[in-house]
Amino acid sequence: MRASELRLFQEARTQSVAPLRHALSGFCEALSIKDEAIDDIVTAAGEALANAVEHAYAERPAHLPTIELHALFDSGDLALEVVDCGKFVERDPRPWRGFGLRIMRAVAQQMTVDTSDGTRVRLHFSGVARKVNDGQQL
């Protein structure tokens, strides 16, 4: 099966997160990704998007703060990227906060955070395709 791709841009505001999560969930369902994997993928994306909205533009306000969600499904694996054009905020751990990056790390098989130009969170989910009865992947 050919690779499938989803690429969405939104203004970086709280109200953008739920529609992006919803669109990602629909994309995953259309590709027959396993239900439990969809939960992990959407949870991780939600944390990364929430971070971009809350933190990315806090220290360096932008004329048009944006967030980008990019998902690529290929050979049974899903690669996810959440990108903003803001500035990564290095800070000491705060009580009751600091779970987002941990959650992403826990649910994805691989995670990298590139802060060289804005913030680009890359998450890799392996073997997420649902199996059909004869054992073949869709």
Ligand X SMILES: Nc1ncnc2c1ncn2[C@@H]1O[C@H](COP(=O)(O)OP(=O)(O)OP(=O)(O)O)[C@@H](O)[C@H]1O
CB of 44 to ligand X, least distance (A): 11
User: Which residue lies nearer to ligand X by CB, 78 or 104?
Assistant: 104
**What distance in Å separates the CA atoms of residue 107 and residue 39, rounded to the nearest whole number?**
9
Select the span of 14-22, 49-57, 70-78, 125-133 touching ligand X (CB under 6 A).
Answer: 49-57
Stretch that binds ligand X, among 5-13, 27-35, 87-95, 125-133 (CB under 6 A): 87-95
* Per CB under 6 A, 10 contacts ligand X: no
Minimum Å distance from CB 51 to Mg ion?
Answer: 4
- The amino acid present at 52, given as its one-letter code, is A
For Mg ion, the binding residues (CB under 5 A) are: 51, 100
How far is 25 from 78, CA to CA, in rounded Å?
12
DSSP for 70-138, written as a single string: EEEEETTEEEEEEEESS--------TT---HHHHHHHHSSEEEEE-SSSEEEEEEE-S-BPBPTTS-B-
Tell me which of 71, 88, 107, 125 binds ligand X, using CB under 6 A: 88
- Residue of 71, 79, 84, 85 that binds ligand X (CB under 6 A): 84
Residue 58 burial by CB count (10 A; 0-12/13-18/19+): exposed, middle or buried? exposed
| Residue 99 identity | F
What is the contact surface with ligand X in residues (CB under 6 A)?
A: 47, 51-52, 55-56, 84, 86, 88-89, 91, 97-101, 119
